Chains A and B, each alone.
Chain A
Amino acid sequence: MTTTLSPDAAAALEEANAHNARTRRNQKISAVIRYVILAIVGFIMLYPLIWLVGASFKTNAEIFASPGFIPQSPTTEGYERGWDTSTRWNFGHFFLNTLWILIPKTIGTAISATLVAYGFARFDFPGKKILFVTVIATLLLPNVVTRIPQYLLFRDLGWLDTYLPLWVPSALAGDAFFVFMLIQFLRAIPRDMEEAARVDGANTIQTLIFIVIPLLAPAIISVCLFQFMWTMNDFLGPLIYISSVEKYPVSLALRLSLDVTEAFQWNQVLAMSALTLAPSLIVFFVAQRYFIEGISTGGVKG
């Protein structure tokens, strides 16, 4: 099909094409600027971590010799000597302690938060509105206010210097963030399948296990991952409740090594710091999609 354009229309078309080209060029420039900003800011942000890893393989003499991160004469001395610690136990022992805090706590969190979120999202019961308000209130309630009486409670129960103060509150859906996050997820899931299951004679527990949990699985995984990170990072909890070195998690062990070996054994401290970050980093990179989804949906803090 051929069309003849009047001179006016041709000029207009030409101008439109030029305009489009300009827009495309602007977009290209804009994209380049964005990449440059992102790369520079990203590099500055991640350099401390890169430096940490590099410095952990340096000799003590080299660590503060230059700001570069590549070791001149790489050594694993920091890891070997740091691993042994100045205590009777090596870092492996402290990692196992952390794991022993982590596993029951995470399982307890996942189960209790799922049950409670299911209760809130799918049932009506007396006092539901007020209880839901308390979920939001606990979300914002500063822990500093409740910490001292909690400590006194655990002392009276004889739970000091055990992991119970770290496990039990989480197993009773104590982290309101997770309950809130799962409720948000559940609200977005249509109830059709659950209603069909109920019509077919399934009770609420069967519906929960066979219908809801499979649909909710990504969110539950997010909960577990966040709890993993928070527990790995938790310092104040163990600091207050755990007093014998034998029961220390890695966070306390690392602080201890700081007190004892600080003087000039920099590479030991840096090596153990890098090592304690490794589990969190690995888990994050393997499962980052769950973190991003979790945080975007539930608005969970980092």
Chain B
Amino acid sequence: MGGEKQWVGLAYVAPYVIGLLVFTAIPFGASFYLSFTDYPLLSAPIWVGLQNYIELIFHDRTFHRALQVTMTYVFITVPLKLTFALAIAYVLNYKLKFIGFFRTAYYVPSILGGSVAIAVLWRYIFADIGLVNMIITGLGFEAINFFGDPRYALFTITLLRVWQFGSAMVIFLAALQSIPAHVYEAAAIDGANKAQTFFFITLPLITPVIFFNLILQMVEAFQEFNGPFIITDGTGAPLRSTYLVPLYIYDKAFRQFDMGYASAIAWILFAIIMVLTLIAFWSSRHWVYYAGDKRS
């Protein structure tokens, strides 16, 4: 390994290094700086210190509402999606015929789910006279005003994301399939029943994958934009009950061109995601089981 070879490696990763600096690292720093400025886009940014943050934390009722809605959304969506993904992966992880067919069927929503077309479809499904209400009234119940009632509107957005559990499911399934058969045989010989086997054998063995999915889904859920934006025409209606923080950032930055203030919102959101990620990493010592040297 001579000195020459070192430069070869650097040459190969050079595109990444340039991209990292220009499109990630410098913007990252710049947005932190901008969050302390008043920057109406057409004039130069003016340093205002902590003013944006003080306004956001103590006075901006819209932001408080958006944050509350976002937290509710994330804390309902992520556990629900992971539970579904794991449950279906568990049912699929069995010597079934057509397993490939089912896996495909469940995976389809997660490749289409982020698109405008699906958000449009969601509007039709949960409309006053939409698909769900046709079924509900057909069964003799009263129609639900999903997009008019703040109690239900967020639920429809949540459902849109839970519906896309397929990608998490495929990751769970791969993890379940990698558990060696002799582990289960040993459990069976010791007289463990199905529930015991699941909670004391299967679940601990796949905790690294649960952890991975948890972080990934959480970071994604905090940034949800397409669904609520298209379903509500960007308003977060009704009564801002679906007005997630990313919608507020979009409004401030690209409708009102208040770049400094929008950067401050983005940084608060980033800080929240970071803190939750760090808590997850810290707590993972206690609940994530890494086979490590025990694996033969």
What residues on B are CB-neighbors of A126 within 8 Å? 6, 10
Q: Which bracket fits the contact residues of B?
A: 35 or more
What residues on A are CB-neighbors of B216 within 8 Å? 299, 301
Q: Mark B244-260, 1 if CB is under 8 A from A, else 0.
A: 00100110011000010
The one of B108, B131, B171 that contacts A295, using a Cβ cutoff of 8 Å: B171
Task: Given A112-B16, A125-B13, A273-B117, answer yes or no on A45-B109 (Cβ-Cβ < 8 Å).
Answer: yes
Q: Please state if A302 and B107 are interface contacts (CB–CB under 8 Å).
A: yes
Q: Please state if A64 and B259 are interface contacts (CB–CB under 8 Å).
A: no
Q: Please state if A140 and B13 are interface contacts (CB–CB under 8 Å).
A: no
Task: Given A140-B215, A204-B8, answer yes or no on A174-B23 (Cβ-Cβ < 8 Å).
Answer: yes
Q: Is A169 in contact with chain B by the CB < 8 A criterion?
A: yes
Q: Mark B93-128, 1 if CB is under 8 A from A, else 0.
A: 010100000111111111111111110110011010
- Cα distance A226–B98 when bound, in Å? 25
**Stretch of A12-20, A29-37, A83-91, A214-222 lying at the B interface:** A29-37
- Name the distance in Å between B190's Cβ and chain A's nearest Cβ: 17
- Name the distance in Å between B263's Cβ and chain A's nearest Cβ: 5
- Name the distance in Å between B111's Cβ and chain A's nearest Cβ: 5
**Stretch of A72-80, A146-154, A189-197 lying at the B interface:** A146-154
- Cα distance A300–B230 when bound, in Å? 25
Q: Is B266 in contact with chain A by the CB < 8 A criterion?
A: yes
What residues on A are CB-neighbors of B25 within 8 Å? 134
- Cα distance A118–B121 when bound, in Å? 42
Q: Is the interface of B mostly helix, strand, loop or mixed?
A: helix
- Cα distance A146–B23 when bound, in Å? 8
Q: Please state if A291 and B111 are interface contacts (CB–CB under 8 Å).
A: yes
| Chain B contacts with A in 73-110, Cβ cutoff 8 A | 88, 91-92, 94, 96, 102-110
28 A-B residue contacts at CB 8 Å?
A31-B96, A38-B88, A38-B96, A45-B163, A48-B131, A55-B124, A64-B134, A66-B134, A67-B134, A119-B9, A122-B9, A124-B5, A125-B13, A131-B16, A144-B270, A148-B27, A149-B30, A150-B27, A153-B23, A172-B19, A229-B111, A233-B114, A251-B115, A273-B118, A276-B117, A281-B112, A295-B170, A296-B173
A119-B9, A152-B30, A204-B12 known, 15 other contacts, Cβ within 8 Å: A34-B96, A52-B121, A119-B11, A125-B7, A131-B16, A148-B253, A148-B259, A149-B263, A235-B114, A236-B250, A239-B254, A270-B124, A284-B111, A295-B171, A302-B166
